[in-house]
Amino acid sequence: MTDPTDSSAGFEFDTTLDPIPDLHSRTRRMRQRERLSKVKTHGIPATMFTHYDDVIAAYRDEETFPAPAVYKIIAGPVMGHTIQCMTGPEHKRHRALVRSAFKPSIARDYVPTVFSDAAHSIIDRFAGEGRAELVSDFTRRFSFDIICRVIGIEDVDNDQLHHWVSGLFGYPTDPEGAMATTKMFNEYIRGQLDARRREPRDDFLTGLLHAEIEGHMLDEEQILSFIRLLFPAGADTTFYATGSMIYYLLEHPDVLERVRAHPEDRDKAIEETLRIEPPVTNQPRMNPKAAHWRGLDVPEGFIIFGTSAANRDPEFFPDPDRYDIDRKVEHQIATFGNGQHFCVGSHFARGEMRAALDALLERLPNLRFAKGEQSTILGGTLRGPDHLAVEFDS
- Report if pTM > 0.75: yes
Contact 36, 298 (CB under 8 A): yes
- The pLDDT, as a whole number, for residue 85 is 65
Q: Which domains does the chain have, with CATH numbers?
A: 7-391 (1.10.630.10)
Whole-Å CA distances, 157 to 145, 148, 318: 10, 11, 44
Our measurement of the distance from residue 331's CA atom to the centroid of its chain's CA atoms, rounded to an integer in Å, reads: 20
Residue 251 to residue 182: CA distance in whole angstroms: 38
301 DSSP β-pair partners: 287
Question: Closest Cα partner for 47 from 382, 296, 391, 329?
Answer: 296
**52 three-class SS:** helix
Query: What are the phi and psi torsion angles at 48 (to 5°)?
Result: -125, 135
How confident is the prediction along the chain (394 residues), in pLDDT tens digits per residue?
334 444 446 899 999 999 999 999 999 999 999 999 999 998 999 999 999 999 999 999 989 998 877 777 776 677 776 666 666 776 666 666 666 555 566 556 666 788 999 999 999 999 999 999 999 999 999 998 888 888 888 777 777 777 787 777 777 778 888 888 888 888 999 999 999 999 998 788 888 888 776 776 778 888 888 888 887 777 788 999 999 999 999 999 999 999 999 999 999 999 999 999 999 999 999 999 999 999 999 999 999 999 999 999 999 999 999 999 999 989 999 999 998 777 777 888 999 999 999 999 999 999 999 999 889 999 999 999 999 999 999 8
Q: For the chain, what is the radius of gyration of the CA atoms?
A: 21
Our measurement of the distance from residue 187's CA atom to the centroid of its chain's CA atoms, rounded to an integer in Å, reads: 25
48 DSSP β-pair partners: 37, 304
Residue 198 to residue 257: CA distance in whole angstroms: 51
